[in-house]
Amino acid sequence: MSYQHTIQFRTYQFDDLRTLLAKATPFRSGDALAGLAAATYEERVAAQLALADVPLKTFLQEAVIPYEEDEITRLIIDTHNQAAFAPVSHFTVGELRDWLLSDDADTQTLQQLAPGLTPEMVAAVSKLMRNQDLISVAQKCEVVTRFRNTIGLKGRLSVRLQPNHNTDDPKGIAASIIDGLLYGCGDAVIGINPATDSPQAVIQLLHMLDQLREQFDIPTQSCILCHVTTALQVMTKAPVDLVFQSIGGTARTNSSFGIHLGLLQEAYDAALSLNRGTIGNNVMYFETGQGSALSANAHQGVDQQTCEVRAYAVARRFSPLLVNTVVGFIGPEYLFDGKQIIRAALEDHCCGKLLGLPMGVDVCYTNHAEADQDDMDNLLTLLGVAGCNFIIGVPGADDIMLNYQSTSFHDAQYVRKVLGLKAAPEFEGWLQRQGITNAGGQLQPVGNTHHLLTYQAG
Amino acid sequence: MSNIQHRNTVQEDPWSALKAYTTARIALGRTGTAIPLKEVLSFRLAHAHARDAVYSRLDINLLLEELHAFMLPVVQLHSSVAGRHEYLQRPDKGRKLDTGSIEILQAQPAAFRQKDVVIIVADGLSATAMNLHTAPLLNHLLPLLKTAGLSIAPVCLVEQGRVAIGDEIGELIQAKATLMLIGERPGLSAADSMGAYITFQPRTGNTDEVRNCISNIRQDGLQYIPAAGKICYLLQEALRLRLSGVELKDNYKDPSLLTG
């Protein structure tokens, strides 16, 4: 089906929904690289005007990637909840935007609506929203998940402690973990990107993390971010809390990652059967990021933001504890500068939340992007206001293994302080018992006899 | 006024001994929740080096002078990228030669064609790395290639190039293999890393799994002598086995690490 909009004497024609979505997307370098972006400012607004008039029901009839070709399209259509969709089924995309910002759309209403929304509906509405709208709507959502603690409650901001080391040296990793814990971080997960995907190295790190967590009785979970097949392989030999995987929004992207839905289901079932969560059973950790489909040459003419939101359909299937959009990691050919990174992060966070996902954001950039710490400060503050579930904490914001800049442990304390946000409740209690923070959440001076400093990595 | 009497508000972290185990920025101390200024500026300086490296240019005159000293013919090429901003946003253009460069390669005499290897020097994301490391690396590498009996095409100096532009170059000059030396994406710890990519049977459209990569060539990383040894080994193996990439395993033993 084609769509059109006339501005004065010029009629803009958009051949299909996929094209309309791409042309309506706020400018980013990745869509230009893919040849999908609007040619002019006017064409972009024309596409947005046309998109605003598209009934939501259209999204259930016209797939951006054919149902027969792509298992994610099939997942989206086959699991769509008609009853949850009913209250908004008469809306156009534009009416959905206005309604989402109205006081009628409160936290509970949005939670009930989530299974009725498809990724494409959510991507579409986000393209019509300003940054302010993305923040307002996300802030109304609340997605709470549990494993050994409770993540995502309003007024809380958790941190993944990311203690990467270029040779996976346990002592080097432990040094960064101690540093992060003493700065009040680690409640989302203590998660290591291993330098190699070798099962032996993964097993060693899993044992080390588990032993450290047990020794200090830390109410959190650990994860080695290896490939899902590696996790399946080591699960019987080492303590696996969370299973990690990078996912994309087209079946072809996932196939370039060496995964498909059946494999994720297998890993999910296996992780559930370990029964290691004490207060909840959200056992998956997913990472995403705009541009991954194009990077794998698997976008199939769909813009990078719509591809990203389709990845959330994959995540949603497996009730994850954490979903992290690694927004600025991919590079300037997809998101060129601070402005594009900030916009994309707010979109990802809002769209994920609307679909019912526990969204966190890796507030980050690479050295060839036009961005710096000031951009990250802006984004971090905006996400704090938007109610982001978690961010990443890296010593001094400098990841020495992945060679990019994220947010520091100090940054996490900054945003908690200026916005009055707290750690996950169980972890907050632990921090106070350890004398790391006081009842107000402020960092306390730590003496050189603190028992965390007695830790010896094996 | 009593709150502003202390001149030094920085609280040191009592775990700085842990710095011995990692180069990560731990035990930075704090003032309030903020990173102390000294550490902020040290980070900013590292980032400045990285940014300057991304926008650095190949020092063509210097490189030509150095390459001529090796008595090798040199051709100067350019990708189809117009400027640095385009380079960063259009990797596809950085992988294609401009028309002038294609003509230059097509005009090369028969004597320069069908060689075992063509060495390509491209700026990539750090021309700084190439200005620093090209000549010292070749100084160690060329004698090894000569001893191994490999024939060498003219050295191609490419501005605004990405790794895959080597495929087009190798194809046009009909080399059996390419050695692409290219500036790597700068990190905060090093802004001058050189990477070396080896591709057997270079063809436009090749993807990364057919390449072997040797990374982090710089003074505090992989040093020139072991880097040259590894490159020569992989080139010989690629030519012998007629393949490169994931199927070509790097079993190189650094002689300087062998104790006999």
Residues of A in contact with B23 (CB under 8 A): 166, 400
Question: What is the domain count for chain A?
Answer: 2
Tracing tokens 């600025």 back to the chain, one arrives at A328
Is A160 labelled as part of a ligand binding site?
yes
Higher pLDDT, A327 or A195: A327
Is the domain of A175 the same as that of A123?
A: no
* Residues B28, A396 contacting (CB under 8 angstroms): yes
Residue A346 inside a domain? The answer is yes
Residue A112 inside a domain? The answer is yes
- Selection from B23, B41, B39 nearest residue B31 by Cα: B39
Residue A458 inside a domain? The answer is no
Query: Given A140, A170, A198, which residue is the final one in a domain?
Result: A140
Helices and strands, number each (H, E), in chain A: 21, 14
pLDDT of residue A458: 63
Amino acid at A436: I
Amino acid at B184: E
Query: Given A113, A140, A167, which residue is the final one in a domain?
Result: A140
Q: How many whole angstroms separate alpha carbon B58 and alpha carbon B132?
A: 10
Ranges of each domain in chain B: 16-53, 58-257
pLDDT tens for each residue of A98-155: 999 999 999 999 999 999 999 999 999 999 999 999 999 999 999 999 999 999 999 9
Is the domain of A129 the same as that of A167?
A: no
* Residues B161, B198 contacting (CB under 8 angstroms): no
Q: Which CATH number covers residue A135?
A: 1.10.220.70
Query: Given A102, A120, A140, which residue is the final one in a domain?
Result: A140
Bridge partners (DSSP) of residue A156 are: A422
Amino acid at B145: L
pLDDT of residue B3: 61
User: Closest Cα of chain A to B201: distance in Å?
Assistant: 23
Residues of A in contact with B189 (CB under 8 A): 398, 400, 403
Rounded percentage of chain A residues whose pLDDT exceeds 70: 100
Q: What is the DSSP string of A318-378?
A: T--SEEEE-TTTS-TTTS-BHHHHHHHHHHHHHHHHHTT--EEE---B-TTSB--HHHHHH
* Residues A159, A185 contacting (CB under 8 angstroms): yes
CB atoms < 10 A from the CB of A278, how many? Answer: 13
Indicate which of A178, A398, A422 best probes the interface with B, i.e. most B CBs within 10 Å of its own CB: A398
Is the domain of A216 the same as that of A308?
A: yes
H or E element that contains B157:
strand B155-159
Q: How many whole angstroms separate alpha carbon B112 and alpha carbon B88?
A: 32
* Residues A406, A364 contacting (CB under 8 angstroms): yes
pLDDT of residue B99: 98
Q: Least CB-CB distance to B21: which of A169, A182, A413?
A: A169
Is the domain of A113 the same as that of A169?
A: no
H or E element that contains B141:
helix B127-147
pLDDT of residue B257: 62
* Residues A325, A308 contacting (CB under 8 angstroms): yes
Q: Which bin fits A445, alpha (ψ -120 to 50), beta or left (φ > 0)?
A: beta
- Could you tell me the two tokens for B84? 């640095």
A417 touches B at CB < 8 Å: yes
Residues of B in contact with A417 (CB under 8 A): 32-33
Q: What is the mean pLDDT of chain A?
A: 97
Is B163 labelled as part of a ligand binding site?
yes
The answer to whether A368 contacts B88, with C-beta atoms less than 8 Å apart, is: yes
Q: Least CB-CB distance to B43: which of A166, A176, A396?
A: A396
- Selection from A407, A396, A322, A330 nearest residue A369 by Cα: A330
CB within 8 A of B231, min separation 6: which ones? B141, B179, B196, B198, B214
A197 touches B at CB < 8 Å: no
H or E element that contains B60:
helix B60-69
Q: Which of A27-49 are b and which e, b meaning 16 or more Cβ less than 10 Å from the residue's Cβ? A: ebbbbbbbebbbeeeebbbbbbb
Residues of B in contact with A395 (CB under 8 A): 22, 24-26, 28
- Could you tell me the two tokens for A350? 């809002």
DSSP-derived letter for residue B17 is: G
Confidence of residue A1 (pLDDT cuts 50, 70, 90): confident
Is the domain of A180 the same as that of A38?
A: no
Is A170 labelled as part of a ligand binding site?
no
Is B184 labelled as part of a ligand binding site?
yes
pLDDT of residue A209: 97
pLDDT tens for each residue of B182-215: 999 999 999 999 999 999 999 998 888 899 999 9
pLDDT of residue B260: 39
Q: State which residues of chain B have pLDDT below 50.
A: 259-260
- Could you tell me the two tokens for A207? 């044992």
pLDDT of residue B6: 65
* Residues A124, A59 contacting (CB under 8 angstroms): yes
Is the domain of A162 the same as that of A242?
A: yes
B24 touches A at CB < 8 Å: yes
Tracing tokens 């759309």 back to the chain, one arrives at A105
Is the domain of A424 the same as that of A298?
A: yes
Is the domain of A169 the same as that of A63?
A: no
Bridge partners (DSSP) of residue A222 are: A190
Bridge partners (DSSP) of residue A405 are: A365, A398
pLDDT over 90 at A445, yes or no: yes
pLDDT of residue B249: 80
H or E element that contains A398:
strand A398-399
| Contacting A residues, span 128-167, partner chain B, CB-CB under 8 Å | 163-166
Is the domain of A183 the same as that of A284?
A: yes
Is the domain of A133 the same as that of A62?
A: yes
Q: What fold is seen in the domain B58-257?
A: Rossmann fold (3.40.50)
Residues of B in contact with A422 (CB under 8 A): none
pLDDT over 50 at A60, yes or no: yes
pLDDT tens for each residue of A349-378: 999 999 999 999 999 999 999 999 999 999
Bridge partners (DSSP) of residue A323 are: A286, A359
Q: Which of A364-390 are b and which e, b meaning 16 or more Cβ less than 10 Å from the residue's Cβ? A: bbbbbbbbbbebbeebbbbbbbbbbbb
Residue A442 inside a domain? The answer is yes
pLDDT tens for each residue of A230-248: 999 999 999 999 999 999 9
Residue A389 inside a domain? The answer is yes
The answer to whether A396 contacts B91, with C-beta atoms less than 8 Å apart, is: no
Is the domain of A303 the same as that of A336?
A: yes
Q: How many whole angstroms separate alpha carbon A448 and alpha carbon A450?
A: 6
DSSP-derived letter for residue B30 is: B
Residues of B in contact with A368 (CB under 8 A): 54, 88, 125, 185-186
Is the domain of A135 the same as that of A180?
A: no
pLDDT of residue A338: 98
Question: Structural domain of residue A182, as residue ranges?
Answer: 145-453
* Residues A34, A334 contacting (CB under 8 angstroms): no
* Residues A294, A334 contacting (CB under 8 angstroms): yes
The answer to whether B188 contacts A405, with C-beta atoms less than 8 Å apart, is: yes
Torsion of CA A120, A123, A124, A128, to 10 degrees: 170
Residues of B in contact with A404 (CB under 8 A): 187
pLDDT of residue A457: 77
Using alpha carbons, list the distances in angstroms from residue B20 to A80, A175, A184, A386. Answer: 54, 9, 22, 39
Using alpha carbons, list the distances in angstroms from residue B198 to A59, B162, B253. Answer: 47, 14, 18
Is A161 labelled as part of a ligand binding site?
yes
Q: How many whole angstroms separate alpha carbon B172 and alpha carbon B72?
A: 19
Q: What is the largest CA-CA distance in chain A?
A: 77
The answer to whether A368 contacts B54, with C-beta atoms less than 8 Å apart, is: yes
Helix, coil or strand: residue A408: strand
